[in-house]
Structure 1
Amino acid sequence: MEIPAQHAAHMARAVELARLGHGTTSPNPVVGCVVLDAGGQVVGEGFHAYAGGPHAEVVALAQAGERARGGTAYVTLEPCDHTGRTAPCSLALLDAGVARVVVAVSDPNPQAAGGAERLRAHGVEVLSGVLAEEAERVNEEWLTLVRLGRPHVTWKFAATLDGRSAAEDGTSKWITSPEARADVHRLRAAADVIMAGIGTVLADDPHLTARPERPHAERTSVERVPLRVVVDSEARTPQTARVLDDAAPTLVAVAADTGTELKADLLRLPRHDGGLDLRALLRELAARGVVSVFLEGGPTLAGAFVAQGLVDRVVAYLAPALLGSGPAALGAAGVCTISELHRLTFDDISPVGPDVRLVARFTPDSDREK
């Protein structure tokens, strides 16, 4: 289907608006909306800014007022048709008297879906699938949660050009530049969970907090503090570890049969393949409203996530440096022969200070999560 230029342009703006809510809407999706009057002029714009707040359609319709009557609404996600913390957006659109609604992505959540059907039943023209790929990308974390029943996982690592994450003697701090580290804090701040394994905690004593450098004008009243999660099957996290301070909440995932006196919020999980059941971990996090996980730390935990098909996106920072020896960024990842290697597609390759940031995603494959 050929998409009219005006539909693509207005939906592109809605996608841009949706992106503004990234990192503050969990466990809800990010959504953008643009409203045109009957003459085709933009009269309202909005995005979902925070969970429990007004939805994108409501914000845009409030801005448009009576000018929305007989007009068109462009929405990145099918308008919801259920009452949660807010009223159904389908009813808001009907009350506003819009004549047409253009949707990018149908809502896969059975509890909220049905908005398009209700609108059509009341005589509103509904067009679906406009810029669906772009709208899915901006909302990929939430869509992963709804479709797969687990949070979206981004694995981040920093390494030298020869793929080493640390020197042979174990020293590993500041392989990449201050600019790259600032970029990491920006990504951390947008995640619901920052996760590391016990090996990283013991070797580096990381803080695992998000400290993004943002101009005051860009700060909002809904700044969140990501949950820190330590994967520690034997409960070896030192009581003095920085990850247990009061800078942010912390959850320590341990094996169900591990005895410990560690004073921390513990999540007991089944064992699996010499470690913890990572699928069970992600299910538990999803039950707590976690939509996105930012996985950091050492090669062992990363390898386990990759081997089980639980990584959705990889963000790599490569420094123009060589070590020649030392641990690799990724440990055993379920590959025994070259035909089993994990294939990804690059989304972005950008300079960050003197370093390079690579963003790649696994090729969609329903069989990847084995």
Structure 2
Amino acid sequence: MVEAIQRMNDEIYMRQALALAANGAGRTHPNPTVGAVIVSEGVVAGEGWHRGPGRPHAEIEAINKAGDRCKGATLYVTLEPCAATGRTPPCTLGILKAGITRVVYASSDPNPKMSGGGIWLADRGISVTANILETEADALNRPFLYAHRLGRPYVIAKAAVSLDGKLATRRMHSQWISNEISRKHSHVLRAECHALLVGSGTLNMDNPSLTVRHAPLEGRPPLRVMFGSHAPAFRPDYNFADGEVPARLYVCHDNRHISDWQHAGVDVVRVDGIVPMLRHLVVDHRWQILLEGGGGLHAAFLEARLTDEMVLYQAPILIGGSDAVGLWQGTGVNRVDEAPRLVDVRRQMFGEDQMIRGRVVYPEV
């Protein structure tokens, strides 16, 4: 009974810490979003959340607000306290000096340079409880966790589709399937991401700008990225190479067009496939990417099980035709039980368009 009450109280205060952490969404990259609450004798004594690189961590902000009330108190924090010096001193040392006697955290820190804080504190006599509301905490930091645990970015695929799942007509006409409200909302997605990815087909047909224009942008703009087997012929009118934001081509094979792109200021990187490209992006701290390509690129990511989330803007129109461009080009799956499924699905109406957003779960093989 006592343990059940303790668990209930731990979850109550951890939810407060999670709400605080959400304030830092989009502001802390490449650091994680973190919230902290200090409770002394059943009363909240201090709160904090991480506001950006070089700023105090959530634990230290909460400790500074709580002051002397930290002695004998419990700290609730959404991520394991860091145990190493980065731009700021380790939080574990601040916790120990403050006199906090119990620490409760949600997620373990996946960064090997910073992890181990829980063990460090326990070795010094502080009571440590881990994994309280871990799933909810992980949801706040998926790009950070994917980068450190999997070595690749978190991939969000975005597309405007008809009711019958088409991206374009058989004559490659697609402007505009979704309405203006949906198109403006898609810039909110762009602002959340660190790179915007298209294939050579989309680059040639749509000449996309790949910039954030209808949403506030925190930090550096997303990197423009094109992935393809080779570099397409360069055209001076490409928005991709206008110099407004950094741009990069990832190509699997060399050809004579590469130098033209480089002379235009576009970075060109030779890779052996999608996974090496993703690993290269992680090194550059591009931890969340928005896939905006055509049916071929969407198919390649889905078949490689690399699409982690989908956002579909579905318009109330029918395009039809076996030659029209579908969201998932190629052969697809053989059986319904082999199909990827969206979970944690959210729906929102933008005029007559419906946005469907969910995480992608792949069946076991």
> What is the CA distance between 1:132 and its match in structure 2?
0.9
**Paired residue secondary structure (1:45):** strand
Partner of 2:190: 188
1:334 CA drift (Å)? 5.8
Which secondary structure does the structure 1 equivalent of 2:325 belong to?
coil
User: Do residues 149 (structure 1) and 147 (structure 2) align?
Assistant: no
- Greater displacement, 82-91 / 331-340: 331-340
Q: Which stretch of structure 1 is more off in the superposition, 298-307 or 58-67?
A: 58-67
Q: Which residue of 2 aligns with 1:117?
A: 119
> Could you tell me the percent identity over the aligned residues?
37
Indicate if the aligned counterparts of 2:250 and 2:271 stay in contact, CA closer than 8 A. Answer: no
Pair 202,364 (structure 1): closer, same or farther in 2 beyond 3 Å: closer
Aligned partner of 2:109 in structure 1 is 107
Aligned twin of 2:130 = 128
Q: Which residue of 2 aligns with 1:245?
A: 242
Residue 273 of structure 2 corresponds to residue 269 of structure 1: no
2:347 pairs with 1:349: yes
The alignment covers a number of residue pairs equal to: 355
Q: CA deviation at 1:204?
A: 0.9
Query: Residue 284 of structure 2 aligns with which residue?
Result: 288
Residues 311-356 of structure 1, C-alpha deviations (whole Å, 9 max, x = no match): 1111111112222232112223763554532233243222233222
- Pairing 1:231–2:227 present: yes
Q: Which amino acid aligns with 1:310?
A: L
CA distance 1:126–1:352, shift in 2 (3 Å): farther
Aligned match of 1:274: none
Task: Give 3-state SS (helix, strand or coil) of 1:20's partner.
Answer: helix
What is the alpha-carbon root mean square deviation over aligned residues? Answer: 2.2
- Asked if 1 retains the 8 angstrom alpha-carbon contact of 2:84 and 2:90, the reply is yes
Cα pair 2:341 2:362 within 8 Å, conserved = no
Partners of 1:194 and 1:201 in 2: CA distance? 12
Deviates more, 1:46-55 or 1:126-135: 46-55
Unaligned runs of 5+ in 1: 272-276
| Unpaired stretches in structure 2, ≥5 consecutive residues | none
> Which whole-Å CA distance do the structure 1 matches of 2:160 and 2:286 have between them?
25
Choose 151-160 or 56-65, whichever is displaced more.
Answer: 56-65
8 Å contact kept, 1:33–1:75: yes
Q: Identify which of 159, 162, 178 aligns with 1:160.
A: 162
SS across alignment from 2:75: strand
DSSP-derived class of the 2:311 partner: strand
5 Å-filtered alignment, 1:1-370, equals 2=4, 4-36=7-39, 38-214=40-216, 222-236=218-232, 237-260=234-257, 261-262=260-261, 263-271=264-272, 277-325=273-321, 326-332=324-330, 335-363=333-361
Shift of 1:302: 1.2
- C-alpha separation between the residues in 1 aligned to 2:228 and 2:235? 11
Structure 2 length-normalised TM: 0.90
**Structure 1: distance between partners of 2:65 and 2:201:** 52
Distance in 2 separating the partners of 1:152 and 1:133: 16
Report if the CA contact (8 A) 1:307-1:332 is conserved.
Answer: no
Q: 1:321 to 1:346 in 2, by over 3 A?
A: farther
Residue pair 2:191, 2:215 contacting (<8 A) in 1 also: no
Whole-angstrom CA distance in 1 between matches of 2:335 and 2:235: 38
1:239 Cα deviation after fit: 3.4
* Cα distance in 2, alignment partners of residues 102 and 280 from structure 1: 37
Q: Does the CA contact (< 8 Å) of 1:306 and 1:333 recur in 2?
A: no
CA–CA distance in structure 2, aligned partners of residues 9 and 107 of structure 1? 22
In structure 2, how many angstroms separate the alpha carbons of the residues matched to 1:52 and 1:333? 49
1: CA distance, partners of 2:107 / 2:355: 29
| Range with bigger deviation, 102-111 or 155-164 | 102-111
State the 1:256 CA deviation: 4.3
Distance in 2 of aligned mates of 1:16 and 1:333: 43
What TM-score do you get using the length of structure 1 for normalisation? 0.89
Query: Is this contact kept in 2: 1:20–1:47, CA < 8 A?
Result: yes
Deviation at 1:121, TM superposition (A): 1.7
Q: What is the deviation of 1:83? A: 1.1
